[in-house]
Chain A
Amino acid sequence: MWSRVGKRIAISIPVLVGVVLAIFVMLRIVPGDPVTTMLGEHVNPAVIEKISREMGLDQPVTVQFFQYVFHALQGDFGTSYRLNRNVTGIILDAFPNTVKLSLLAAVVAWVIGIVAGIVAAVRQNRLLDRLFMGCALMGVSMPVFMTALVLQYVFAFKLKWFPVSGFDSVKAMILPAIALGWNSAGSIARMTRSNLVEVMQNDYIRTARAKGLREHGVIVGHALKNAMLPVVTMMVLQISSMLSGAVLTESVFGVPGIGRLAVNAIETRDMPLLQGTVVFTTILIIAGNLAADLLYNVLDPRIREGA
């Protein structure tokens, strides 16, 4: 078990290095000099050169890269051009908001997704099944930003039930959480339903019935654990994708989280901040995948053995 954990972490390191390298190179390939963007077009070239030197931008890219990695390993992701603050500090300030939003969205997605999936499977091909699966299909098909905009327009702007933007009260968190969670709720509901329907065809379900279990006992006691194995993995994986999916939701609802930081950083060509948010999100996604993998190990005795 623990050697497996170690192996998985070791595999993650090259992934992380690759992502850092990719974002680093990409930001330096795109046309436009960050200093010019920062100061404007008509500034004395001497000033630009001086500032470039101060920021280390005159060095070769390889040198810049290794300097960046060296500092990053010590927790220093540089200083934001725009905000003139330590990137690590900015991210850590914004992180709680993103976590709150993602967790809320995850709870929305899990509770609604699983319950809807089970109900749909039990009432297969009946009205509730059709209704839930319709909603789920909508959730899966609609891009997050569109869901967010529609929810915002209908429930905040027209009906005025919720504030249009911000993230300072529980009420303000509801719409962003639903917008971000709906997509996941849809895929969880669909997967739960199809897995449960499939598992219910198994021979061991017949055995459970023959044993004298009532139908709800069969579903809860024997079908659910088998059906939920892949769903649990997906659910954990989705936390990390929510953290990144938060980018759009945060922008629409003006939530001061990491996603909005990233968008701002792109707009203002704030390279250190953008690099910082990307690296940070990458670490979260890798951690999420690792957690999903390990959880599957714990839950499924067949995989536990083979480890």
Chain B
Amino acid sequence: MHFLKGLVLILLPAAAIAAKRAAVDKFQQFHSKALSSTPLKLDDSIYGQLTSAPRDYSVAVLLTALESRFGCQLCREFQPEWDLLSKSWTKGDKKGESRLIFGTLDFTDGKNTFQSLGLQTAPVLLLFQPTHGPHAVADSAPVRYDFTNGPQSAEQVHSWVARHLHDRPHPEIHRPINWVRVIAFTTTILGTLTFLSVAGPYLLPIIQNRNLWAGVSLIAILLFTSGHMFNHIRKVPYVAGDGRGGVSYFAGGFSNQYGLETQIVAAMYGLLSFATISLALKIPRIADPRTQQLAVIIWGAVIFVMYSFLLSVFRIKNGGYPFWLPPFS
């Protein structure tokens, strides 16, 4: 309510002027502007005119902060989607049957509006419903769209807008074909094919190399078993500070982890597996008894120490875990 009051105060002078003209004119006037360039670029005064109280049309205004000094990543990511939505809507509705105007108000042009609305964050999408006319709604306060779930696509916003504008046409979104992408894709495919046909005879032995496949398989297995998919899905941070200026390598808690942590774990698993493979395959093939003895001791010690370390790391993750091996307890 507080913010409504502010809004009304700001709009009063503008409304007084606008009320003199016929409201139909106002829509036609903005609509014809929109046909040439949409979304309309607003400033404080146009915003006031556009959203002033007696209106028989709907307005969707995106309040945003595009300049890089504000560092609004979300604003910049959403802007092309917003442009796309307004362009395809206006294009699909040249006669203005849906009675909807799109506008963008940047913070640099509309500081007063931002202040009067009490906005601390951007972007904010407001939808003003008509106050009279066939589609009028009782509540004249604008509806606010949430950007809580990160950047939104034009389709999501489209369905939200369409939900609020009943029994009016909802022009579909037409995404322009991304020619650069198509060309790049075709070139890549053709290039790869050419490369393969030329380099095929040289590549074939590499592809058929069993060591290569063994390596790839093991790396894949180590990646997956050390929780890489969790990082990928949950988008966990790579490392985090421990609050005392240092770096915390291991996240607290059983179902929580950092990117670096999984790499350390994968390295441990890899080393342990490699030591096992060495003990099983390589050492029985060492012909010199002394070298062999030494190798057995070294690899045996590597496994022992590494496993002990692994257990100690696991004890960090799971407080009550009772088992450990000597060096790290």
**A and B bound?**
no
Please give the residue numbers on chain A whose beta carbons come within 8 Å of chain B beta carbons, in ascending order. Answer: none
